[in-house]
């Protein structure tokens, strides 16, 4: 059996675009073994490469939502005539959303001065802090002069942030509260969401129940059925709809306290729920998890864009039902119709701007963690190397939000600080940047509508599948790998890793800070080893660690790395275009959403290539050490 003996480094050096075929030749991979035609043989009958139908479904949903958007972005007069219950524009503000642009306009052409409003409300804004248009990031905050490290930049009194208050009493608020209960909650288990999606997707039986009842039912019944962590973030994102409802209510209300803030919000968002079907296809990426066992998994796990669109379309019906016979005094949106597009606007506004901060003290003395919108502070754009951070000051009976130039908090006794980051003085014309979180590009795109280049937290997802692992390791030169039929002692380790057995979670990650998810690395090390005693000498945490150097021997480690490189080749082969094609497509000038979709897929391919490059270096190093030792 041939082994990988090529030099990927040379290949990487000569071209940024690493073609799978060339790589396979250079690395002496038996490419035939991993070509689409061949691979079908080893993999579930659904066919390894047949993921198009999945896109088609997602695209259909996205198109439907886009259609709704088109309807709701009619000129105001049409809106008033066709969609509003009360045809008076003096009592409410319209709830529209239009197609995304690079510099999204604000809700009104000349919104009130946000800085002045914050100051008027008792807040503080450093004299050198200004709002300015950034060339690529929309509006942002910049320093008009030098600001020393540790300075307060903005202070917001407690009444300024926009929060979802659940203790409100009047009729309109109780309807809003009722609606918010229809949004699946944070405590909904992952498996609950998966099944909830499944039921919505596949059967009509649950249609007589409300979303909330379905979610509750599934929470109770499904704990042991599925265990996929993928949904964690989705549930949180659905939660954003609760605050979104409050935002929408305030947007509709004339005389809202928050109007100076809301009117400064973008009119449109570039998140994928507003993409056309074509741009959903342009993403070229359904996590490989879905593709590998299409028939089994795709029903349970439509991709997140699809999921969010579906949620919006269903929630639209819930909202319409709840609002249909209401008196104007009880109507939370001033009598206006609310559709999937306005709900999508609100959800995107929240997901792209809300911060999770401490809320009220609970009876047990702890504090709940609640999302809130922080006017002006949320004009800061994101960087992994920020120069500002949010802290929450807690005086007795009074709480304020501060944003400070990043500093080391030697004197933080009365601060509840969230992050201590770069220690930098801010220079004139520097943008003020916050760290939004260690997110993959999936979540930057889904929640914020942008893609971070060279994102250290970006990754790809694969399904741990015996047949796929056998294919990859054979291509990497292992003569008869036994991933499909591991020995009993190996299966025991796999079930400890939750890669086998009832409670398994087969989603594994390549890329991100870990480079190769520990569970995958240790599984490969164990399955590619014949030495039960040697394996049992090690703590599983050591076997999971990439920094533990060749714990099961050089030959084992080289086989493991080559197998992962082959997995990367397979993953790369799933993308229909090369980075070079993507770049030239972007140069032709494409709409914002298409550009985002192309950037997204370029970054995914780059993650794979970077992992291949890193592992190839490790293989070279190990091989040279092995030679020296021999």
Ligand X SMILES: C[S@@+](CC[C@H](N)C(=O)[O-])C[C@H]1O[C@@H](n2cnc3c(N)ncnc32)[C@H](O)[C@@H]1O
Q: How far is the CB of 264 from ligand X (least distance, A)?
A: 8
Calpha distance 292→43 (Å, rounded)? 8
Task: Report the residue closest to ligand X, judged by CB.
Answer: 138
Q: For residues 445-484, which are near ligand X according to CB under 6 A?
A: 448-450
Q: How far is the CB of 190 from ligand X (least distance, A)?
A: 26
Q: Does 139 bind ligand X (CB under 6 A)?
A: yes
For the record, the structure tokens of 185 come out as 């909650």
CB 616 within 8 A of CB 8: yes
Rounded to 5°, the CA angle 330-321-91 comes to: 35
Rounded to 5°, the CA angle 577-583-584 comes to: 95
Q: How many residues does the chain have?
A: 630
Q: Does 138 bind ligand X (CB under 6 A)?
A: yes
Q: Does 382 bind ligand X (CB under 6 A)?
A: yes
The Cβ-side half-sphere exposure at 169, using a 13 Å CA radius, reads 0
Query: Which one of 35-43, 374-382, 420-428, 459-467 is the stretch in contact with ligand X (CB under 6 A)?
Result: 374-382
Q: 626, exposed or middle or buried, with CB in 10 Å at 0-12, 13-18, 19+?
A: middle
Q: How far is the CB of 574 from ligand X (least distance, A)?
A: 27
Our CB check for ligand X shows the closer of 175 and 354 to be: 354
Our CB check for ligand X shows the closer of 359 and 437 to be: 437
Q: How far is the CB of 107 from ligand X (least distance, A)?
A: 11
Q: How far is the CB of 445 from ligand X (least distance, A)?
A: 10
The Cβ-side half-sphere exposure at 12, using a 13 Å CA radius, reads 16
For the record, the structure tokens of 394 come out as 């807690």
Our CB check for ligand X shows the closer of 381 and 387 to be: 381
Calpha distance 257→61 (Å, rounded)? 36
Our CB check for ligand X shows the closer of 276 and 351 to be: 351
Pick from 18, 307, 331, 353: which binds ligand X (CB under 6 A)? Answer: 353
Our CB check for ligand X shows the closer of 447 and 500 to be: 447
Q: How far is the CB of 184 from ligand X (least distance, A)?
A: 23
Per-residue string for binding with ligand X, 251-280, x by CB under 6 A? ---------------x--------------
Q: How far is the CB of 442 from ligand X (least distance, A)?
A: 15
In the chain, how long is the greatest CA-to-CA distance? 86
Q: Helices in 283-402 by DSSP H: which ranges?
A: 288-292, 294-297, 304-323, 340-353
- How many chain residues bind ligand X (CB under 6 A)? 14
Sign of the alpha-carbon torsion through 396, 400, 401, 406? negative
Calpha distance 146→354 (Å, rounded)? 28
Q: 537, exposed or middle or buried, with CB in 10 Å at 0-12, 13-18, 19+?
A: exposed
Query: Which one of 92-100, 117-125, 379-387, 546-554 is the stretch in contact with ligand X (CB under 6 A)?
Result: 379-387
Calpha distance 383→376 (Å, rounded)? 17
Our CB check for ligand X shows the closer of 93 and 353 to be: 353
Q: How far is the CB of 416 from ligand X (least distance, A)?
A: 21
Which residues are at the interface with ligand X (CB under 6 A)?
Answer: 137-140, 266, 352-353, 378-379, 381-382, 448-450
């Amino acid at each position: 059996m041939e082994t990988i003996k090529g030099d990927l480094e040379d290949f990487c050096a000569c071209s940024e675009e690493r073609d799978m075929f060339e790589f396979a030749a250079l690395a002496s991979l038996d490419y035939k073994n991993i070509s689409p035609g061949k691979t079908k043989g080893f993999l579930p009958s659904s066919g390894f490469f047949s993921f198009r139908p999945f896109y088609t479904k997602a695209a259909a949903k996205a198109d439907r939502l886009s259609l709704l958007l088109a309807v709701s972005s009619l000129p105001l007069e049409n809106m008033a005539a066709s969609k509003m219950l009360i045809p008076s524009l003096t009592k409410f503000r319209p709830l529209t959303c239009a197609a995304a642009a690079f510099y999204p306009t604000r809700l009104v052409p000349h919104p009130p001065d946000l800085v002045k409003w914050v100051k008027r409300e008792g807040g503080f804004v450093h004299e050198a802090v200004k709002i300015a248009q950034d060339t690529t990031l929309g509006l942002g905050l910049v320093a008009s002069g030098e600001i020393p490290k540790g300075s307060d930049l903005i202070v917001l009194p407690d009444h300024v942030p926009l929060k979802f208050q659940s203790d409100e009493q009047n009729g309109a608020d109780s309807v809003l509260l009722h609606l918010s209960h229809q949004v699946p909650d944070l405590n909904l288990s992952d498996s609950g969401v998966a099944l909830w999606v499944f039921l919505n997707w596949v059967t009509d039986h649950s249609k007589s129940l409300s979303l909330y009842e379905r979610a509750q039912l599934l929470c109770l019944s499904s704990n042991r059925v599925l265990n996929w962590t993928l949904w964690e973030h989705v549930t949180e994102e659905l939660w954003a709809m609760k605050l979104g409802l409050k935002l929408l209510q305030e947007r509709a209300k004339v005389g809202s306290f928050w109007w100076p803030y809301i009117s400064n919000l973008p009119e449109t968002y570039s998140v994928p729920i507003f993409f056309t079907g074509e741009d959903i296809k342009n993403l070229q990426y359904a996590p490989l998890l879905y593709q590998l066992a299409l028939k089994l998994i795709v029903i349970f796990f439509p991709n997140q864009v699809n999921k969010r669109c579906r949620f919006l379309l269903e929630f639209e019906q819930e909202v319409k039902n709840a609002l249909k016979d209401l008196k104007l005094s009880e109507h939370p949106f001033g009598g206006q119709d609310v559709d999937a597009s306005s709900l999508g606007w609100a959800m995107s506004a929240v997901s792209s701007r809300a911060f999770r901060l401490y809320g009220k003290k609970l009876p047990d003395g702890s504090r709940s963690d609640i999302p809130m919108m922080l006017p002006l502070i949320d004009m800061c754009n994101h960087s992994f190397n920020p120069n500002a951070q949010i802290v929450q000051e807690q005086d007795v009976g009074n709480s304020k939000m501060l944003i400070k130039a990043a500093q080391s908090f030697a004197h933080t006794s009365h601060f509840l600080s969230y992050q201590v980051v770069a220690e930098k003085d801010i220079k004139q014309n520097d943008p003020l940047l916050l760290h939004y979180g260690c997110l993959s590009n999936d979540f930057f795109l889904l929640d914020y509508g942008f893609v971070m280049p060279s994102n250290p937290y970006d990754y790809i997802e694969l399904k741990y599948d015996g047949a796929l692992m056998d294919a990859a390791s054979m291509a990497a030169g292992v003569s008869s790998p036994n991933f499909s039929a591991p020995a009993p002692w190996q299966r025991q380790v796999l079930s400890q890793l939750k890669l086998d057995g009832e409670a398994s979670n087969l989603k594994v990650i390549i890329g991100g800070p870990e480079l190769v998810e520990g569970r995958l690395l240790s599984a490969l090390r164990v399955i590619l080893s014949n030495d039960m005693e040697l394996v049992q000498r090690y703590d599983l945490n050591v076997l999971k660690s990439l920094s533990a150097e060749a714990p099961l021997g050089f030959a084992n480690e080289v086989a493991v790395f080559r197998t992962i490189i082959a997995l990367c080749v397979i993953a790369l082969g799933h993308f229909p275009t090369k980075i070079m094609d993507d770049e030239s497509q972007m140069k032709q000038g494409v709409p914002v959403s298409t550009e985002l979709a192309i950037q997204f897929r370029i970054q995914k391919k780059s993650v794979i290539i970077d992992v291949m490059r890193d592992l190839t270096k490790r293989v070279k190093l190990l091989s040279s050490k092995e030679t020296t030792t021999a």
